[in-house]
Amino acid sequence: MDRIRIAGGRRLNGSIPISGAKNATLPLMIASLLTEETLVLENVPRLADVGLLQRILGNHGVDVMIGGKRPGETSYDGQTLHICAANIIDTTAPYELVSRMRASFWVIAPLLARMGEARVSMPGGCAIGTRPVDLLIMALERLGAAIEIDGGYVVARAGRGLKGGEIKFPKVTVGGTHTAIMAASLANGTTVIENAAREPEIKDVADCLNKMGAKIAGAGTSRIVIEGVARLGGARHRVIPDRIETGTYAMAVAMTGGDVVLENAQPELLQAALDVLIRAGVEVTPTNAGIRIARDGSGLAPVDVTTQPFPGFPTDLQAQLMALMTRGRGISHITETIFENRFMHVQELARLGARIALSGERATIEGVDRLKGAPVMATDLRASVSLVIAALAAEGETMVNRVYHLDRGFERLEDKLAGCGAAIERISA
């Protein structure tokens, strides 16, 4: 297994290109199952999760072709995927594949809507909490699907097609909203989704589906109205920039000090997180090229932050903010309201010298003068990258183990940081 070695204490200066959003790419790839025509996705990040989803789609008979690099393209430009689900050969998504990536459960919606049946393994446990799929199942039932659980599989049937309906989510769910939109796009009649997730990735997928011929209004707000259509066609769509990658590098620069432009980043995708950085004393300047993040020698003011669905502060940046606040000048509080168990980074940050106390969903972080390098590892993507942020400011050497977690969601992390002066290298197993 690869490891990453970091020698802390260097400031970051220069620019970092922001890749396409993982959490838009995955549902966009899944949406390709809704049509027999080709869906072309541009600005797709090179990530392990994208490769794994390609395999999962391949299992259903989907053809994925990756466009070659054009002259003049830098190695950081996203890849172009040509995805064609002309022939769906299998409507089962097996446990071996679904258990490795939770989002792959979402194939249930397009398979059911287009083929009238789907058999998808329950995703099972996950390091950041129980993460059930009850609301996704509820949404499909509201559209007329008959659902049963059989041998660990969710079996969904709609022999005569799905029918538009009213879906009111009791809790905001990103996956539930994606699933409902995809299924309703090919349902007969009108669907209204209330309390829909407003994450930018929802709007990105809806924009793409509309290019494919869907009739979706209100995506990006909490009320989405979908008029079902009989069929969808191909389209070409460019994936939005990754707001979590943007926020992560912004926090890395805030941690080390320095001056970095996050190229292609869009401030409106993460305003709540940028506001927190500004309150902490970080300079945040939108520019034509992206977002400039700077901090001089002055210390970081502590913050009090609660994770919320969009447009609130994202749970996917909670671990990174916690790493940053280990160096705050005083006591910070971070409350995690989205996932009940997303604090695995706390014990590992403590190995670097952080002082963090947990009480239920609330963490109290007492800023320390210095962190010291140590061997660490983490069990999920965002927790792993929080350790990288802490390591960049720690004295001496930190070895981050289990790098495959990072590879799931950060494209060439070590190259991007080294390009700005960090002493970071990958040690291949």
Q: Which residues bind ligand EPU (CB under 6 A)?
A: 23, 26, 102-103, 129, 131-136, 171, 173-176, 315-316, 338-339, 381-382, 409
Min CB(71)–ligand EPU separation in Å: 33
Give the Cα separation of 102 and 94 in Å (integer): 12
Alpha helices by DSSP H, listed for 16-101, are: 22-31, 48-59, 95-98
State the nearest-atom distance from the C-beta of 45 to ligand EPU, in Å.
12
Helix (H, G, I), strand (E, B) or coil at 140: helix
Cα 321 to Cα 368: distance, rounded to the nearest angstrom: 15
Specify the residue, 373 or 409, whose C-beta has the smaller distance to ligand EPU.
409
Q: Which DSSP state fits 264?
A: T
Residue with smaller CB distance to ligand EPU, 175 or 258 = 175
Residue whose CB is less far from ligand EPU, 43 or 315: 315
State how far Cα 188 lies from the chain centre: 31
Residue nearest to ligand EPU (CB): 175
> E strand or H helix at 224, and its extent?
strand 223-227
To the nearest whole angstrom, how small is the minimum distance from the Cβ of residue 74 to ligand EPU? 25
Enumerate helices (H) and strands (E) in the chain, giving the number of each: 14, 24
* Residue 420 among the catalytic residues: no
For residues 45 and 175, which CB has a smaller minimum distance to ligand EPU in the complex?
175
Using the minimum distance from each CB to ligand EPU, give the nearer residue, 38 or 104.
104
Distance CA 311, CA 326 (A): 25
Residue with smaller CB distance to ligand EPU, 164 or 409: 409
d(CA 382, CA 204): 22
Q: Which of 84, 126, 208, 420 is catalytic?
A: 126
Say if residue 306 is exposed, middle or buried (CB neighbours under 10 Å; 0-12, 13-18, 19+). middle
Measured distance CA(344)–CA(223) in Å, rounded? 34
Please, what sign has the CA dihedral across residues 120, 61, 102, 345?
A: positive
User: Measured from the CB of residue 113, what is the shortest distance to ligand EPU in angstroms?
Assistant: 18
Helix, strand, coil % in the chain, rounded to nearest 5? 35, 30, 35
Q: What is the 3-state secondary structure (H, E, C) of 162-214?
A: CECCEEECCCCCHHHHHHHHHHHHCCECEEEEECCCCCHHHHHHHHHHHHCCC
Positions annotated as catalytic residues are 126
